[in-house]
Structure formats: structure tokens, C-alpha cells
Structure 1
Amino acid sequence: MVIAVIGAGSIGRRHAGNLEALAQSVELIGWRAFDRTEFEARKDIEAVVIATSTPIRLDLIEMCAAQGWPFYAEKPLAWRVAQAEAIHEAAAPVADRSMVGFMMRYHPAVRDLATRDLSGLYGFHFEIGHDVRQWRENWSFVGSYAANPEGGGVLMDLSHEVDLALSLIPDMTLKSVDCVGHLDFPGVDFATRLHLTDVTGAVGSVAMDYVSPVSLRRASLRADDQVIDLDFLVPDMRVATAKDAKTTPYAFDRNDMFMDAMRDFLALVRGQKTSGNPLMPRFDRMRDSSLMIAQAWENRQFNGVVAMDMT
């Protein structure tokens, strides 16, 4: 049986390579070469990895659900609430054996944090930033999906941070979304900040940007008995209390997160025991995350512009 990876861009190639490293039979199919009628007639498909652009998610998820194929869908799933609702409704027949590709839930610092007592939390902040022009070799923002005013922008591109915050603080409510745009790309957010609260009264934010001259990815949580600061790029976590402070370093390779997620996906596909990660992004548990991201995109308020030469 074959694991089909649909979408042969950088993330599709990564997933295909990781599946091969896990001794799986893999077929990488570029979207332009994909023939749905021919594909649906196949009897050798065990599961599908969906690594296409975001607008194509619903059709492929409907196909997988109709065929009974578990799927691993790359993030983000949708940028509008109606889209997200339709995707989760369509996925229902195979949702408990499928996953969303929020691999940051497998970061060792996040898994460590998920085991800690976060009661007494009164403040939180998650942030990611980098200069989009330096993102990938031979990559152009202007001609990419990210420059599309319908579904593009930094909120969608770096939506991991929204999901990450929600995975650790699950009962959050979105209050507002402030954005900075660019005169040459109307409707595309270059810097975005979500303002959030949770049911206990804690207040916080999630920020992402295409502008920072220095790459950064970090989080801070403030509780009445501890102060927690994470740097995901080092990576390490510092926990301070009134009595002492301790910094924990984490040794790992970025691809480890993708590999761990794929191992769990294969276990779900085959009805086997998963890793036990309490944050595993199993599809039937991800509706709130999908809706939060879509609600944030629909509620963006542009309050300024950034002057970046994008030529």
C-alpha cells in the first residue's frame, strides 16, 4: 500500500522524504499532474498527505473522506469561517485517523510546557518574526501565495503561533486583530497582532510579522507563582519563581518535529498506539484552532503600512 503525497513543493518533498526515511512506500504527485478521477479509482492508497496550497484543501479532503482514506493536511486549512466549517464537516468520516500539520506541537519545549501547571496565568504572548525577503533561497514573495489578498499574508503564513497559543491555553476568545499592511500589496498583512483573553481572565497576544531584521520565535507566560520565557530558536525555556530560576536547553533538529508528527499519523492510519503527545493535532480535535485562525483573518483591521522594498 502507498502513502500518496499530493503537492510537490518544498513541504511536500519534505514529507515524502520523511516517509521514505520511515521505510514507507511513497508516491509524490505534483498538483499539476494530479488527476482526481484516475486517483480515486486506485486500490493501493492507504493514506494521503495534502501539501497543496490552502485553496485546494476542501476538494481533496472531501475526496479522502469519500474514499475512507485518512489524511494529513498541511496548515492552514482555511482563511474564512465558512471554509473551515465546510472542511471539518467534510472530514468527519476519517477525522479521528487524520491530522493537521501543526508540527510545532511536537517541539520539545512545547511538549515540556504542556506538562506544567499553568494555573494562575494572567498574561501570555507568542511571537514570530523574520524578513520575508530572506525566507527561502530563490523564493519571491511577489509571485507567491503569500502575496494574494484573498488568503495570503503573514497571519495565514505563520498561523502556527495561533495554534500553538490555543493548544496551551485552550479556552481563549479573540477580541481584536490589528495589522500593518504594505502600499504595494493591498489587503495583505505584513505584521499582525491578535488580542486575546481566556476564561480565567488572562489577557495576551499572538504576533507575527514579515518585517523583523532578526529572526525570532518566542513565548512568554506570566502566572501568579512563576514567570516562563521560551526561545524556540535557541531553543530553551527559563522558569523563574520567587525562590529560584532554571533554564532548560533542548537539543533537537527541526525535522524531528515533522518526523514525530508523521510517526503519529502512521499510527493513527493503522490503528496503532501513538506517541502519547497530549497536543497531537488529530483532525477531530482541531476545529477550534481552524476557526480561531479563520476568525482572526476575517477580523483584521489595517492600522498602518510598512515601507519595505519588495522588488
Structure 2
Amino acid sequence: MTETIRLAQVGIGYWGKNLLRNFAAIDGVEIAMACDQRESILAGVANQFPGVQTTSIYEDLLGSPDVDAIVIATETPQHAPLAEQALRAGKHVFVEKPMAQTSDDARTLVQLAADRDLRLMVGHLLLYHPAFRFVEDLVRGGGLGDVYYLYSQRVNLGIVRKQENAFESLAPHDISLALQFIDAAPVGVSANGAAYLQPGVQDVVFATIHFEGGKMANLHTSWLDPHKIRKVTVVGSRKMAVIDDVAASEKVRLYDKGVDVSRAGYADYVEAMTLRSGDINIPKITMTEPLRMECEHFVDCVRRGATPRSDGQNGLAVVEIMEAANKSLATGGILVPIRSGTD
């Protein structure tokens, strides 16, 4: 018989409603409690999920013996404080991205989870997206050759935030992918951006993550753009891949393109380079809802005591890069070294 996992969730806003819906649909999951500061939201939860206890007091979740794990889907500044309280109360934690706003806070969460043998998972949704998983498997199997660099665009008109800039709001997705696709340690970040709508809150950011061996990832994030683009391009020595999450179909295109270099017998190095432009392949990928897969993965990890794919260490690595990017933004785009989670 499948062990029932009893969940409580704090934060039932725009994204929190999607999380609650997916967790509630999983076999062997009981939504025990829901917490939000807005009475109208709680009334809606009670109507949609009869039997779920609702409260505006977070401590009710922490002290309940009927709660095994807490899902945190609040505004970003609350992520780390609420997650820390939950871990100290002995609860497994799913926390939306980013897990914290500082690497020190992220390290605290990682250490607490390890000390108490609790599952800590971060909502890096694209790590559970079938199209991105397909390309990741291709990269790990050598299908693209040596990955040189990647670049991403995550832009749209809105949603404009007040408590975080466009990079903090949007970049965690692509940072998590870059860490999976590039087989090298990140060493520094340089970033430039501008705030047009609110003082001190960048609406557009261009950031470059520098990795060992000269590899890099360039990220363009904005909530002030005429186009909705969710695209990642991965350039390898053998092939190149483009992932377009906005496309209704054909979300992945593989390009048999590259530059072949033959060093033997050539006096002129340029003459040793041959441009290669082959077929474009569109693989068939069976799509399932990434959020459902992410939620099921968390429940499975809690049930089996397994390490989540997007665990606290993965979340910490993302926060370290975001922290370095914000320091670079504040200092005119200088290259800021990344403070390693092992330091």
C-alpha cells in the first residue's frame, strides 16, 4: 500500500494555485492545510478542496502533527525564512525558486536539511520539462560533442515585480539549465541592466556566466519586451540544439552544423577549418506537464528518502550565480567571482 504523504502549502497566489492543483491530483497525497494572508483566497481553497484546513497563521502548519511536508510558494523574500522554520520544525520542504536571496541563507537551508535528514527541493521547473530533459540526455551522451557555450532569452511584457528584478525573477530557470548543460564549474558572472519602470529594480538584464575552460552562458531576461520568447540555444562541437518552449510543437530542433578543424598538414590555420551545414532534425518528444512531473518527483523523494533532482545544493548553486550577477549589476558590469558552496 502506498504511504500517504500529508502536505501543507503556504502561498496560494497565481503560481501557488497551480502547485496546489497538481499536488492534490497525485495518488497518495493528502492536502492537510493551506495558508495564506488573504481570506478570499482561503475561501476559494475551502470551496475547491473541501476538508482542507485553512489558516492565515503559518505556525499552525509548523506545529501540526498531520503535516509531513510544506510547500512554499510565497513572494521571494519569504522563501528562506519560511523554509528555515519548516526544516527546524522537522518538515520536508518544497520551495519555489529562488530558494533564497543570499548564498548564506541558502547554505543554512542546505545544512539544516542535511542535519535533520529532510528532503529539500527547489522549484527549478525546467529540469522536469521533457524537451529540456531530451537535450540534457543528448548532451550527456555526447550527441552535441563538447558544449562550447549557450545563450537564452526569457522575455515578455510583464509580469512586473516590485521585490525582485527581472534577472532574479526569470533567470533561475536558465541558470539551472546552464549548470546541467555545461560540464564545467562556474567561476564568475558579469551583468548589465537598466531600471526604467521602478528605481533600482532592473527591467532588463544581460548577464554572462563564465565557466572553467572558457565556456560561457549568456542570459537575456526582461519583463519589458514586445515578444514572448522562451528559447535556449546550445552550441556544441558536433551539433547545435535550439529549445523553444513557446512553440506549440517542434520544441526542439537539432542542427548538424559546426566547424571541423584539421590541424595536420596545413600551414595556414584558417585553411584547416571546414564549415559543416547538414540536416535539421526535429525529434518527436512526448510532452507531459512539467509541473506535474516536478510535484510527483518531490512526493516520490519524500516517500523514498531520495535526493531530489533539484535539491538544496542545486538551489544553492543557482543562488550563488544570482548573487554574483546582482553584485555585477551594482558595480557597472564588472566580472564578479562566484563564491563556491564548498568554501
Q: Aligning the two structures, in what range does the TM-score lie when normalised by the shorter sequence?
A: 0.7 to 0.9
Question: Contact 1:8–1:31 at 8 Å: present in 2 too?
Answer: no
- Over the aligned positions, Cα root-mean-square deviation in angstroms equals 2.5
Q: Distance in 2 between matches of 1:126 and 1:167?
A: 14
State the TM-score, normalizing by the size of structure 1. 0.82
Distance 1:214 1:36, change over 3 A: closer
How far off is 1:209 after superposition? 0.8
* 1:248 matched to 2:283: yes
Letter in 2 for 1:233: V
Task: Please name the residue that 2:166 is paired with.
Answer: 154
Task: Please name the residue that 1:282 is paired with.
Answer: 311
Task: Please name the residue that 2:36 is paired with.
Answer: 30
How far off is 1:74 after superposition? 0.5
1:233-269 CA deviation, whole Å, 9 max, x = no partner? Answer: 115222122443212254536xx11110111100111
Deviating more after overlay: 31-40 vs 282-291: 31-40
Q: Distance in 2 between matches of 1:237 and 1:5?
A: 34
Number of residue pairs aligned between Structure 1 and Structure 2: 283
State the TM-score, normalizing by the size of structure 2. 0.75
Letter in 2 for 1:29: C
How far off is 1:76 after superposition? 1.3
**Between Structure 1 and Structure 2, whose CA radius of gyration is higher?**
2
Query: Which of residues 176, 186, 192 is equivalent to 2:205?
Result: 192
* 1:84 matched to 2:97: no
Spell out the pairing of 1:9-24 with structure 2 (5 A cutoff): 9-23=13-27, 24=29
Distance 1:39 1:115, change over 3 A: closer
Q: What is the SS of the residue equivalent to 1:214?
A: strand
* 1:271 matched to 2:304: yes
Q: Distance in 2 between matches of 1:12 and 1:94?
A: 26
Question: Contact 1:178–1:302 at 8 Å: present in 2 too?
Answer: no
Distance 1:36 1:209, change over 3 A: closer
Q: Distance in 2 between matches of 1:215 and 1:252?
A: 20
Q: What is the SS of the residue equivalent to 1:299?
A: helix
Asked which structure has the greater RCO (Cα within 8 Å, sep 6+), the reply is: 1
Q: What is the SS of the residue equivalent to 2:84?
A: helix
1:168-218 CA deviation, whole Å, 9 max, x = no partner? Answer: 225223331111221x41111111111122223223311111122110011
Query: Taking every aligned residue pair, what percent have the same amino acid on both sides?
Result: 20
Question: Contact 1:229–1:239 at 8 Å: present in 2 too?
Answer: yes
Letter in 2 for 1:283: G
1:112-158 CA deviation, whole Å, 9 max, x = no partner? Answer: 111122442222101111011xx4xxxxx4xxxx123xxx1101111
Q: Distance in 2 between matches of 1:37 and 1:236?
A: 43
Q: Distance in 2 between matches of 1:67 and 1:96?
A: 11
Distance 1:213 1:44, change over 3 A: same
Q: Distance in 2 between matches of 1:249 and 1:192?
A: 33
Query: Which of residues 43, 67, 70 is equivalent to 2:65?
Result: 43
Question: Contact 1:96–1:284 at 8 Å: present in 2 too?
Answer: no
Task: Please name the residue that 2:338 is paired with.
Answer: none
Letter in 1 for 2:30: S
Query: Which of residues 66, 71, 74 is equivalent to 2:88?
Result: 66
Q: Point out where structure 1 has 5 or more consecutive residues left out of the alignment.
A: 136-140, 305-311
Q: Distance in 1 between matches of 2:182 and 2:118?
A: 22
Question: Contact 1:123–1:221 at 8 Å: present in 2 too?
Answer: yes
How far off is 1:95 after superposition? 6.8
Task: Please name the residue that 1:128 is paired with.
Answer: 154
Q: Distance in 2 between matches of 1:76 and 1:273?
A: 21
Q: Distance in 2 between matches of 1:162 and 1:13?
A: 25
Deviating more after overlay: 106-115 vs 37-46: 37-46
Task: Please name the residue that 1:221 is paired with.
Answer: 234
Deviating more after overlay: 218-227 vs 116-125: 116-125
Question: Contact 2:127–2:177 at 8 Å: present in 1 too?
Answer: yes
Q: Distance in 2 between matches of 1:280 and 1:22?
A: 19
Q: What is the SS of the residue equivalent to 2:253?
A: strand
